[in-house]
Amino acid sequence: MAFMIAQRAYIKLFLITKVEQRRGYGYQMLEELKQEFAPFGYVPPQSEIYRALHELVQEGVLFRTKQLKGSDPSVDFQEIVLYQFTDDGTEKAELYKKQVKTDLDRCIGMLNKAVRDNY
Amino acid sequence: MAFMIAQRAYIKLFLITKVEQRRGYGYQMLEELKQEFAPFGYVPPQSEIYRALHELVQEGVLFRTKQLKGSDPSVDFQEIVLYQFTDDGTEKAELYKKQVKTDLDRCIGMLNKAVRDNY
DNA sequence: AGATGAACATAGTGTTCATAG
DNA sequence: CTATGAACACTATGTTCATCT
């Protein structure tokens, strides 16, 4: 058993939830996460978000569709990669979340123990 | 800012507290920590305990004294390395603990956020 | 078995670079 | 500046080995 939860797993969790709420793309979700974690002084690195998304595709949870960002192609040519759940992606995601939940609880327990025992 | 607290820092915290309670030696504290963390399925690796102790010595928090384990040298020749606080070790330890506390709280906050936001 | 230490190998990262509109 | 991706570099860690009683 590893000591703490990995950053990758932690980020994947949030990405899954974001895709649950609405189809999203990497850069967008990255910026949102930066905002959310700002109070903790934690800046999720760009590379980790993309690595996490790639892994979720590899694992068959998400699939990619490319698409132009703006509604008017003559104005906005920016191509983005949208992520959404595969057919059985929702199930797989739920399973994954269940596993991560166990680990989260374990980690919280260990950190609380540190506070209890040493302060 | 790193994502999570490092295992090294986490272990150093417990080692400091153990030395506060009584002078101890590596193997002994390792075994105690193994017991304490067993419920979490976490087995602190031997190498990390020694590395942590060496670092605390480097940082001037602890100092070492060698000593025979048993009371009767004709029976027990096992040499152990006892650790105790240096003159200003207590202060340094307190400062270190204060810093780690901040990080512990931050980590607990981030893990709780994960539970709140994704379940 | 108890006890200490270091060497070696690797995974998970952080940082930088490449590309494109 | 938005957006995606990969290459590279590093550091904390896991595993193994060495040594002694």
CATH number at residue B18: 1.10.10.10
Question: Taking all residues of chain A, what is their mean pLDDT, rounded to a whole number?
Answer: 92
The CA distance from A64 to B4, in Å, is: 30
Query: For position B77, what pLDDT does the model report?
Result: 74
Question: Taking all residues of chain B, what is their mean pLDDT, rounded to a whole number?
Answer: 92
Q: Give residue A81's domain range.
A: 7-118
Mean pLDDT of B73-95: 87
When mean pLDDT is compared across A53-62, A72-81, B48-57, B109-118, the lowest value belongs to A72-81
| Both structure tokens of A44 | 């999720």
Mean pLDDT of A31-35: 95
Strand partners, B63: B84
- Which pLDDT band holds residue B75 (cuts at 50, 70, 90)? low
Residues of chain A with pLDDT > 90, as a percent, come to: 82
Considering the domain boundaries, does residue A110 fall inside one?
A: yes
Query: For position B116, what pLDDT does the model report?
Result: 96
Question: Residues of B near A (CB-CB distance < 8 A)?
Answer: 1, 3-5, 7, 10, 13-14, 16-17, 36-37, 40-43, 97, 101, 104-115, 117-119
Considering the domain boundaries, does residue B2 fall inside one?
A: no
What is the tally of structural domains in chain A?
A: 1
Query: For position A53, what pLDDT does the model report?
Result: 96
Query: For position A24, what pLDDT does the model report?
Result: 87
The CA distance from A15 to A59, in Å, is: 14
Considering the domain boundaries, does residue A93 fall inside one?
A: yes
Considering the domain boundaries, does residue B30 fall inside one?
A: yes
| Both structure tokens of B26 | 């590596």
Considering the domain boundaries, does residue A15 fall inside one?
A: yes
Considering the domain boundaries, does residue B100 fall inside one?
A: yes
The CA distance from A115 to A39, in Å, is: 21
Contact B1 A41 (CB under 8 A): yes
Contact B43 A7 (CB under 8 A): no
Nucleic chain C: which protein residues 23-82 of A have CB below 7 A from it? 45-48, 51, 77-79
Contacts of A40 in chain B (CB under 8 A): 1, 106, 109-110, 113
A44: DSSP letter: -
Contact A42 B1 (CB under 8 A): yes
Considering the domain boundaries, does residue B60 fall inside one?
A: yes
Query: Angle at Cα B12 formed by Cα B98 and Cα B77, nearest 5°?
Result: 145
Query: For position A75, what pLDDT does the model report?
Result: 63
Considering the domain boundaries, does residue A1 fall inside one?
A: no
Protein-contacted bases of chain C (C-beta within 7 A):
2-7, 12-16, 21
The CA distance from B7 to A107, in Å, is: 12
